[in-house]
Amino acid sequence: MTRRALVTGGAGFIGSHVADALLAHGFAVTIIDDLSSGRRENLPASATFHALDIRSPGAAAVVRDGAFDILCHCAAQIDVRRSVNDPVHDAAINVLGTLNLLEAVRAAAHRPRVIFSSTGGALYGDFVTPPNDEIFPKDPESPYGIAKLSAEYYLAYYARLHGVETTVLRYANVYGPRQDPHGEAGVVAIFCNRILDGRALTVFGDGEQTRDYVYVGDVAAANVAAALATLPPAGRLDDRACNIGTGVSTSVVTLAATLQAAAGTALPVEHAPARPGEQLRSVVRIEKAAAMLGWRPAMPLAAGLAETFRWFRDRRLAT
C-alpha cells in the first residue's frame, strides 16, 4: 500500500524540497499552503494541493480525515525580525497553527507521525557555548525562537499524554535553490542576487560571526529519514529532537568568498555597522541525528553554494 504524507508549507523553500523527496521515496503527497510566502511554481505536479491556512478548520479537516501516515509540518512564520515587530502574529501561526494541526491529529482515526520543523539556531540562544547539543538549555532571544520552543513542548505533551508519534528536527541555517531572502539564513539568497546584479556584498560588523549552513536537499533527506526511522519511546522534551546541520561553522566573510569563487566573480565586500544583539556564533552537533535517524549531511558547502548560485542564475536568465 502506498504511504501517504501531508506537507504543510509545501509551496515554500524547505517544504517544497521535502515534498519532492517524499515523492521520490514513493509517498503519495498532499500539500497545505496558504501561499502567503510560498510559490505555486514550487508545487510538485504530482502532489495534491489545498490552499489553506494552517489555523483554519479546513486545514484541520484535511489532517483529521486524510488517513496520512506522515505529517511534515514545515509551515511557519519564519522571519525573526517580523516576530520581534509583531510577536502576536508570529505566535498565531507558529503556536496556534501548530496546535490546530495537533488537535486534528489527536482526533484522527488514522494518526500520522508528526515531523516538526524547528530551529537549531534561534532555540538555544546566546547563553550556551557552541557546538549546540540537543540537551543544552533553551533560552531563545526572539519571539520566533520562543514560539518554536513552545510548539516543541506541545509536541512532547501530545506524545506523552495522547500517544501521538512526534519527531522534532532543529535546523541550522538552511540554504539552497528556491530560497527567499528571509531571516539570517537568507544571506545566501541575498548574496546570489547581489552577485547577479554586479553589486558589492554587504556584511555586518567584521563578518566573523559564524553559522552552520546546511543544504536544503540534506534537510529534505532528514525529513524522509525521520519518516522511516524507528523512534525511541516518548519522554522528555529533547528525547525525539535532532539537530540537522553540518557541525561546521562558517564565517560570513568565508561564505561570501566561497560563493564568489563558485560564481567566478570578485565583487567588493562592504562592511556595515554590526546589528545589535546579533548572535556571534552558531553551530550544532549532529551526532544524534546519525544515531537516531541514520542521517548525515551529504552536500559540502562549496558544492551546495555552486548549485544554489546556478539555480538563481538560471532563474534570472529565464525571466
Position with higher pLDDT, 69 vs 142: 69
Tell me the one-letter amino acid at 109.
A
Residue 95, pLDDT > 90, answer: yes
Nearest-Å Rg of the Cα atoms of the chain is 19
What 3-state class would DSSP assign to 38?
A: coil
Q: Which residues are catalytic?
A: 144
Confidence at residue 185, expressed as pLDDT on a 0 to 100 scale: 56
What's the first-to-final CA gap in the chain, in angstroms?
41
Q: What residues does CATH 3.90.25.10 cover in the chain?
A: 176-212+247-283+299-318
Taking residues 167-191, report their average pLDDT.
88
Taking residues 193-201, report their average pLDDT.
95
The answer for residues whose C-beta is within 8 angstroms of residue 44's C-beta and 6 or more apart is 16, 19, 20, 23, 29, 31
Tell me the one-letter amino acid at 171.
Y
Residue 295, pLDDT > 80, answer: yes
How far apart CA 319 and CA 298 sit, in angstroms, is: 31
- Considering all CA atoms of the chain, what is the largest pairwise distance in Å, rounded to the nearest integer? 59
The answer for residues whose C-beta is within 8 angstroms of residue 148's C-beta and 6 or more apart is 76, 94, 118, 119, 122, 123, 140
Residue 23's H or E segment, with its range, is helix 13-24
Taking residues 33-58, report their average pLDDT.
97
Residues 216-240 have pLDDT tens digits of 999 999 999 999 999 988 878 999 9
Cβ atoms within 10 Å, residue 173 = 25
Residue 125, pLDDT > 80, answer: no
pTM metric for this prediction: 0.96
Confidence at residue 153, expressed as pLDDT on a 0 to 100 scale: 97
Fold assignment, 176-212+247-283+299-318: UDP-galactose 4-epimerase; domain 1 (3.90.25)
Sequence-ordered alpha helix ranges (H) in 78-135: 80-85, 87-91, 98-107
Phi and psi of 33, rounded to 5°?
Answer: -160, 135
- What is the percent of the chain where pLDDT is above 90? 83
Grade residue 280 by pLDDT with cuts at 50, 70 and 90: confident
Phi and psi of 73, rounded to 5°?
Answer: -95, 95
Confidence at residue 64, expressed as pLDDT on a 0 to 100 scale: 98
Homologous superfamily of the 4-174+215-244 domain (CATH): NAD(P)-binding Rossmann-like Domain (3.40.50.720)
Taking residues 47-74, report their average pLDDT.
98
Q: What residues does CATH 3.40.50.720 cover in the chain?
A: 4-174+215-244
